[in-house]
Amino acid sequence: MEQGKSADRRKPAFRFVIGIMLLVFLPHEIFAGPPFVTDDPEPVDYQHWEFYIASQHTQTADGWSGTAPHIEINYGTVSNLQLHLIAPMAYNAPDNGSAHYGYGDTELGAKFRFIQETEKLPQIGIFPLLEIPTGSEADGFGSGHWQAFLPVWAQKSFGDWKINGGGGYGINSGAGNENWEFVGTVVQKQITKSVLLGAEIYHRTTMETGGRDDTAFNLGTVIDFSQHQHFLFTAGRSINGPTEFQTYIALQFTFGP
């Protein structure tokens, strides 16, 4: 799924990164910056926390899959460095088969911003993610193999507008799997002091042998209930690809010294 990262989201501070963790991929795929798939380079502020209780759902011709719920935790360990964890309860409900529910693959990551935003230059950072195969491959909760995603993200602000985007390379080990590439961009606008709207388009190459590439879009919002409580939502579908519908919903809690 994103992407400052301080407890005060009213500056505006909105972190897209969702993964929609999953934000809109199948349960064994890489999570990103909530509430969108495309992330940003902005880490959580030093000694601040982000805590998400979230759920994502994806419909294809084969059925439904997603998380219900997943927990995401981000922590600013030092200036410009954020540690990241996602722990999902996943489900898989194929049209021709039995539905299953259980723990999915665990995601770990570290976001590092190495260029600060200036009047002329965007901020730039990296956010490598590692998927640990803790979910059952047989039940559709995970890939059964270690996975990684190695992206570079950039973001530039223009008054109430922000544009973030970038891309990366996914390492997807295992028989029948393919390494993949991703590129995406998000445009967002602070409509009021407490309401932000955004739109995203992205392209991801196939993650499995004989699969389809996916070009998709999402529309979403972040609503600040208070300085520390926030509501995130996106919905979208493929423009050219297998996803008939995808959605992400989350409550976010931000706090720190």
Pairing state between β 229-240 and 214-224: antiparallel
What is residue 7's predicted lDDT score, i.e. its pLDDT? 42
What is residue 250's predicted lDDT score, i.e. its pLDDT? 98
What is residue 155's predicted lDDT score, i.e. its pLDDT? 98
The set of residues, in sequence order, having a beta carbon less than 8 Å from that of 212 and lying 6+ positions away, is: 206, 241, 242
Spatial separation of the C-alpha atoms in residues 211 and 109, rounded to whole Å: 27
pLDDT in tens, 173-226: 888 899 999 999 999 999 999 999 999 999 999 999 999 999 999 999 999 999
Spatial separation of the C-alpha atoms in residues 110 and 215, rounded to whole Å: 26
Q: Which CATH number fits domain 49-255: 2.40.50.140, 3.90.1150.10, 3.40.190.10, 2.40.128.130?
A: 2.40.128.130
What is residue 30's predicted lDDT score, i.e. its pLDDT? 53
Residue entry with tokens 């360990």: 77
From residue 101, alpha-carbon distances to 65, 66, 67, 72, 89 in Å are: 10, 10, 9, 19, 7
Would you say residue 132 has pLDDT above 50?
Answer: yes
HSE-CB for 56 with a 13 A CA cutoff: 39
Share of the chain above pLDDT 70, in %: 87
What is residue 138's predicted lDDT score, i.e. its pLDDT? 87
CB-based contact 59:29 (threshold 8 Å): no
What is residue 18's predicted lDDT score, i.e. its pLDDT? 34
Q: What amino acid occupies position 223?
A: I
- Look up residue 190 and give its DSSP letter: E
Compute the mean pLDDT over every residue in the chain, rounded to the nearest whole number: 89
The domains of the chain are located at 49-255
Spatial separation of the C-alpha atoms in residues 257 and 241, rounded to whole Å: 44
pLDDT in tens, 18-27: 333 333 333 3
